[in-house]
Amino acid sequence: MKDKNEPNISAQIGEADTWLDKGKTLIRQNKLAALSALIILLIILAAVFAPVVAPYDHLQQSLTDRLKDPSAAHLLGTDELGRDVLSRIIFGARISLTIGLVPTLISMAIGTILGLFAGFYGGKTDFAIMRLADVMLAFPSLLLAMVVMYTMGGGLINIFIALSLVNWASTARIVRAQTLSLKEKEFVEAAKSVGVKKHVIMFRHILPNCLPSLIVLFTLNIPSAILSEASLSFLGIGAQPPSASWGLMAVRGKKYLFSEPWLSIAPSVAIMIVVLAFNFLGDGLRDVLDPYLKEQ
Amino acid sequence: MFSKVLKRIAISIPVLIGVVLAIFIMLRIVPGDPATTMMGEHVNPAVIEKISREMGLDQPMYVQFFKYVANALKGDFGTSYRLNRNVTQIILDSFPHTVKLSLLAALVAWIIGLSAGIIAAIRQNGLLDRLFMGCALMGVSMPVFMTALILQYVFAFKLKWFPVSGFDSFRAMILPAIVLGWNSAGSIARMTRSNLVEVMQNDFIRTARAKGLRENGVIVGHALKNAMLPVLTMMALQISSMLSGAVLTESVFGVPGIGRLAVNAIETRDMPLLQGTVIFTTILIILGNLIADLLYNVLDPRIREGI
Amino acid sequence: MNEQLLQANSNAHEANTELVLDIRNLKSHFFTAKGVVPAVDGVSIQVPPGKIIGIVGESGCGKSMTAMSVMGLLRYPGKIVGGSIILSGKEITHIRPKELAKIRGNEISMIFQEPMTSLNPVYPIGHQVREAILLHQKISKEEAKNRVIDIFRAVGIPEPQKRYYSFPHQLSGGLRQRVMIGMAMVCRPKVMIADEPTTALDVTIEAQILRLMKKLCEEQGTSIILITHNMGVVAEICDYVYVMYAGKVMEQAETFTLFEKNSHPYTQGLLKSIPKLDEKTDRLYTIDGVVPNLLHLPEGCSFCTRCSQAQKRCFSEKPYLYETGQNHGVRCFQYESGVHLDGK
């Protein structure tokens, strides 16, 4: 932790940290974040190669193998339809990761563009966009997603849409704030004074400077999207059977909580591990990349 | 000061209207028509038409909206289609449960969150810091239903300390409150710690050290008040995520609160009820944020006197 | 500690004066990711009672770090790695935090460059100054309050009774710095360190604040270490000057001597770069180049890369601080005939 009380030593040394330095700092200072990155990589690999990695077909039912305790044959036991829980969790990673990545990317793209416009143009544009963001932020995100799910019905595709629409507002706020401060910087003034077009200034000069914050934000938004999907599916208004969504597995296992607790606990632990890994990584990235976001 | 309060209240009004309007539109721009969505595809078209007329869904949306707002201002959120009761009544019946749950949970969250955050900041980068912040991140990362299921399994089923579900005695409230509070405690602890650490970098902290305060005195005497101001706002924002969490907690423990009401409304496709519950909770959140903002203004001398 | 050094130390000022603060061969290093930065590299400073000692140099020369080391305010990754700090005969370099807290604000105090941010925004200024008294003296709050109002009056704060309850944001920068001076002086310390106390203030206010500091110093017998980059300020109030560069003292002398017989090429450069009204020049004089990267200092004299008088030898060998006259030391090979003043 650097102390602002001291004159900035790196300024005295006269060398800014490069991206490589930042990477090294991350690994050295925050072993947990580095470990998390490794875990995320492994989970991604497992999800991509699920058919190879998983010991069984995740949809294969077997009435003779119902509700088996964890054993060598079924490491995490079997569910009420005799499906192998471990295989379902491995296939479930596909759903969680896609839900974590794609809607987050879409909602952040929307938020970034709206935030850029609001900050750059100010005035009425700013007012309109930010009041809209206020409205979005006023909703508890789960309730809002629930409303969208009510209108469009359950299912993974609709979760995609719901989560893409719901989460843009916080990104918009942060990008707007950064745009406002960057707009006053000399390099933007300079670009303006030589007549660079507005959209070029926005996307070539301002946006790249928001990138560190956006990367951190992305890493931290992924776990909340994963949690939202799990929660919606747990409430029965998200993924529908026989999908191997972790939230859905947890709620279906809830019936057997007192006899076969692993049925609901195992997928919950899977969610926790993924979410924890992304949160640790995001925290680590933030410490290294982005002093700005800490103030949020 | 007074004009600032008025101004702040004035800003909330368009947000309030926007929220109601947004929910209103979202529930009505269904592919097909809202009455069909409510009743399902296989119902006699004549019945659907009748429902549509009864609920005024055949009228232009703006007419519906103004009627709704006019009624809502009188405290009437419409009639539940399935339960055939006044939505306001249903909400007021379940609301006390959610309030009890949330208040208990907030108590848990604030006590655990604040003390863990402060201790972690004092022992910055020490063992306790790492331990507490690890737990806090766990708290934030665990799905609410997971905490609920594990606590239910261990403390209600195995140890039999608490009832498995229900919400009729104080004993029954403890587990749900801990489940719901745990999650918020994590974010409060993280925020408290990071704010304290941030405040500790200020010049006036150096002044406090230079005048001869010892480190604990610096933190308690000079850093805490500055650091707590944003945490206060954050606690108000927690109302929002707490209500989200309440939906899940209530669902696991069978608490007959407002969150369960919303889930039931979706399951039974009871549009007026869903509309009522969502609008009601959102208004609560906006009011919560407003109060936090005003409180912040009162507590911070820089803002108190107007900039 | 060899005899030669002890000799030198006592030579530095009038031999019969007890030093109130004696910094000997102080080394403070910063342990950064890129390597060890020797921000303070063997600095010796002697402070006799009731005198004003100036430390001058460009930003990054280690003058603030020296002050922070003395106050025990260095934080990670900075650390005192050598030397000693003796405050009225007592070694305070590595004392326990509890003992250090008793000294800070009581026997030695400090005011900072940024009056705007050095006061806590959420407490009234009176309480912040009163706290300094209550920490070190067993008197009642009421009594302490009266003392605060007295000191407010002494540092020239108008309506001290009313101002007692003001918040920092209600005061101008000049007034805030007066509050800081009041806070630093209220326990009548032996030494007050002022780290660029007027840099953030208007020129007119600067003169007032300097005069105030000098007056208080004379009244209370407090010594002041004044850190500045402004040679004009030094000329105005300092009795003795240390010129620092890249963590080392380059030249030390009585103020009058320094301005008359400035000997080190760096000091000459600093003095030449003060604009003069009576000389007609097209351009202001500047010292070429910038302060070197403290991680990659030249092998020889740290100033050699910018020195107009540098010899071949300056690039490979480090000069000592050589005594050239009464109370006058210069770190340059040109004065090699003098006695070594530092203990290398």
For C249, C265, C267, the CA distances from C231, given in Å and listed in that order, are 16, 15, 10
Percentage of residues in chain B having pLDDT higher than 90: 7
Residues B148 and B133 in one domain: yes
> Span C200-220, mean pLDDT?
85
Q: Report yes or no: B89 at the A interface, CB cutoff 8 Å.
A: no
Residues belonging to chain C: 344
Number of other residues whose CB lies within 10 A of the CB of residue C296:
10
Query: How would you list the strands of the sheet with C90-91, edge to edge?
Result: C35-47, C21-32, C78-87, C90-91
Q: Is the pLDDT of residue C16 over 60?
A: no
B13: closest CA of chain C, how far (Å)? 31
Domain assignment of residue B146, yes or no? yes
Residues of B with Cβ-Cβ distance to A146 under 8 angstroms:
247, 262-263, 266, 274, 278
Q: Is the pLDDT of residue C344 over 50?
A: no
Domain assignment of residue B266, yes or no? no
Q: What is the pLDDT of residue B47?
A: 78
CA atoms of C302 and C318, how far apart (whole Å): 8
Looking at C161, C188, C215, the residue that finishes a domain is: C188
Q: Is the pLDDT of residue C5 over 60?
A: no
Say which amino acid occupies C306: R
Q: Spell out the alpha helix ranges (H) of chain C.
A: 3-12, 63-71, 97-103, 125-136, 141-154, 160-163, 173-185, 203-220, 231-237, 255-260, 265-272
Domain assignment of residue C301, yes or no? yes
Asked whether the beta carbons of residue A140 and residue B267 sit closer than 8 angstroms, the reply is no
Residues B97 and B82 in one domain: no
Q: What is the pLDDT of residue C7?
A: 45
The answer to whether B176 touches C87, Cβ cutoff 8 Å, is no
Q: Residue with structure tokens 């995609």?
A: A160
The answer to whether A202 touches A183, Cβ cutoff 8 Å, is no
Out of B144, B269, B285, the one facing A140 most closely (by C-beta) is: B285
Looking at C188, C206, C241, the residue that finishes a domain is: C188
Residues B69 and B97 in one domain: no
CA atoms of B249 and B255, how far apart (whole Å): 8
Looking at C188, C221, C244, the residue that finishes a domain is: C188
> Span C21-30, mean pLDDT?
91
What's the CATH number where A132 sits?
1.10.3720.10
> Per the structure, how many domains does chain B have?
2
Domain assignment of residue A15, yes or no? no
Domain assignment of residue C330, yes or no? yes
3-class state of residue C35 by DSSP: strand
Q: Report yes or no: B207 at the C interface, CB cutoff 8 Å.
A: yes
Domain assignment of residue B275, yes or no? no
Q: What is the pLDDT of residue A17?
A: 63
Domain assignment of residue A28, yes or no? no
Looking at B26, B60, B87, the residue that finishes a domain is: B87
Residues B149 and B39 in one domain: no
> Span B203-210, mean pLDDT?
90
Out of A1, A237, A254, the one facing B197 most closely (by C-beta) is: A1
Q: What is the pLDDT of residue C17?
A: 54
Q: Is the pLDDT of residue B306 over 60?
A: no
**Token output for C126:** 């009176």
| Residue C286 exposed, middle or buried by CB count within 10 Å (0-12, 13-18, 19+) | exposed
Asked whether the beta carbons of residue A7 and residue C73 sit closer than 8 angstroms, the reply is no
H/E element holding B12? helix B2-28
**Token output for C11:** 């030579």
Asked whether the beta carbons of residue C73 and residue B208 sit closer than 8 angstroms, the reply is no
Beta strands C191-195; C328-330: pairing state: unpaired
Domain assignment of residue C51, yes or no? no
Q: What is the pLDDT of residue B241?
A: 76
Cα A21 from chain centroid? 25
Number of other residues whose CB lies within 10 A of the CB of residue A5:
18
- Mean pLDDT for all residues in chain C: 85
Q: Is the pLDDT of residue C218 over 80?
A: yes
Q: Which residue out of A235, A263, A292 would a mutagenesis test of the B interface target, given it has the greatest number of B Cβ atoms within 10 Å?
A: A235
Q: Report yes or no: B225 at the C interface, CB cutoff 8 Å.
A: yes
Q: Is the pLDDT of residue C293 over 60?
A: yes
Of the candidates B81, B99, B97, B2, the one whose C-alpha atom is nearest the C-alpha of residue B38 is B81
For B66, B157, C283, the CA distances from A217, given in Å and listed in that order, are 39, 40, 50
Which residues of chain A are modeled with pLDDT < 70? 1-19, 22, 25-26, 29, 290-296
CA Rg value for chain B: 23
Asked whether the beta carbons of residue A13 and residue C32 sit closer than 8 angstroms, the reply is yes
Domain assignment of residue C267, yes or no? yes
Looking at B39, B65, B87, the residue that finishes a domain is: B87
Asked whether the beta carbons of residue A13 and residue C294 sit closer than 8 angstroms, the reply is yes
ipTM over 0.90: no
Q: Which residue out of C118, C169, C180 would a mutagenesis test of the B interface target, given it has the greatest number of B Cβ atoms within 10 Å?
A: C118
Q: Report yes or no: B25 at the A interface, CB cutoff 8 Å.
A: no
3-class state of residue C314 by DSSP: helix
pLDDT tens digits, C233-287: 888 899 999 999 988 999 999 999 888 888 888 888 888 877 766 766 666 777 7
**Token output for C231:** 């040679």
Q: What is the pLDDT of residue A172?
A: 92
Domain assignment of residue B270, yes or no? no
**Token output for A68:** 């088996």
CA atoms of B265 and B259, how far apart (whole Å): 10
Q: Is the pLDDT of residue C107 over 60?
A: yes
Residues B52 and B118 in one domain: no
Residues of A with Cβ-Cβ distance to B210 under 8 angstroms:
none
The answer to whether B279 touches B77, Cβ cutoff 8 Å, is yes
Low-confidence winner among A128-142, C180-194, C214-228 (lowest mean pLDDT): A128-142
**Token output for A160:** 């995609």
Asked whether the beta carbons of residue B281 and residue A140 sit closer than 8 angstroms, the reply is yes
Domain assignment of residue A235, yes or no? yes
Question: b/e string for A59-88 if b means 16 or more Cβ within 10 A?
Answer: eeeeeebeebeeeeebebbbbebbbbbbbb
Beta strands C322-325; C328-330: pairing state: antiparallel
Please indicate whether residue B189 or residue A80 has the higher confidence score (pLDDT): B189
Please indicate whether residue A295 or residue B168 has the higher confidence score (pLDDT): B168
Residues B82 and B96 in one domain: no
A162: Cβ contacts below 8 Å, ≥ 6 apart = A144, A145, A148, A149, A152, A232
Q: What is the pLDDT of residue A290?
A: 64
**Token output for A159:** 């979760």
pLDDT tens digits, C110-129: 998 888 889 998 889 999 99
Please indicate whether residue A276 or residue B237 has the higher confidence score (pLDDT): A276
Residues B111 and B195 in one domain: yes
Domain assignment of residue C204, yes or no? no
What's the CATH number where B163 sits?
1.10.3720.10
| Residue B93 exposed, middle or buried by CB count within 10 Å (0-12, 13-18, 19+) | middle
> Span B183-202, mean pLDDT?
87
Domain assignment of residue B121, yes or no? yes
Asked whether the beta carbons of residue C34 and residue A14 sit closer than 8 angstroms, the reply is no
Residues of C with Cβ-Cβ distance to B122 under 8 angstroms:
none
Confidence of residue B30 (pLDDT cuts 50, 70, 90): low
CA atoms of B178 and B173, how far apart (whole Å): 9
| Distance spanning both ends of chain C, measured CA to CA | 10
List phi, psi (to 5°) of C148. -60, -45
Domain assignment of residue B136, yes or no? yes
B17: closest CA of chain C, how far (Å)? 36
- The phi-psi region of residue C253 (left if phi > 0; otherwise alpha if psi is between -120 and 50; otherwise beta) is beta
The answer to whether C272 touches C71, Cβ cutoff 8 Å, is no
**Token output for B23:** 């929910």
CA atoms of C247 and A12, how far apart (whole Å): 12
Number of other residues whose CB lies within 10 A of the CB of residue B44:
9
Q: Report yes or no: B213 at the C interface, CB cutoff 8 Å.
A: yes
Q: Report yes or no: C309 at the A interface, CB cutoff 8 Å.
A: no
Out of C37, C59, C68, the one facing A9 most closely (by C-beta) is: C37
Q: For residue A108, give its domain range.
A: 36-60+73-295
Closest chain A residue to the Cα of B274, Cα to Cα: A147
Asked whether the beta carbons of residue A12 and residue C77 sit closer than 8 angstroms, the reply is no
Question: b/e string for A169-186 if b means 16 or more Cβ within 10 A?
Answer: bbbbbbbbbbbbebbeee
Looking at B35, B58, B87, the residue that finishes a domain is: B87
Residues of A with Cβ-Cβ distance to C294 under 8 angstroms:
12-13
Q: Concatenated DSSP letters for C193-246?
A: EEESTTTTS-HHHHHHHHHHHHHHHHHHT-EEEEEES-HHHHHHH-SEEEEEET
Domain assignment of residue A14, yes or no? no
Q: How many distinct helices (H) and strands (E) make up chain B? A: 14, 0
Asked whether the beta carbons of residue B209 and residue C104 sit closer than 8 angstroms, the reply is yes
Q: Report yes or no: C339 at the A interface, CB cutoff 8 Å.
A: no
Q: Report yes or no: B42 at the C interface, CB cutoff 8 Å.
A: no
A108: closest CA of chain B, how far (Å)? 20
> Per the structure, how many domains does chain C have?
2
Domain assignment of residue A128, yes or no? yes
Question: b/e string for C36-58 if b means 16 or more Cβ within 10 A?
Answer: ebbbbbbbbbbbbebbbbbbbbe
Residues 120 to 139 of B: which have CB under 8 A from any A CB?
124-125, 137-138
Beta strands C52-56; C35-47: pairing state: unpaired
> Per the structure, how many domains does chain A have?
1
Q: What is the pLDDT of residue A274?
A: 93
Low-confidence winner among A229-238, B45-54, C31-40 (lowest mean pLDDT): B45-54
Query: How would you list the strands of the sheet with C240-245, edge to edge?
Result: C108-111, C191-195, C223-228, C52-56, C240-245, C248-254, C328-330, C322-325
Q: For residue B297, give its domain range.
A: 92-259+282-304
Domain assignment of residue B274, yes or no? no
Residues of B with Cβ-Cβ distance to C105 under 8 angstroms:
210-212
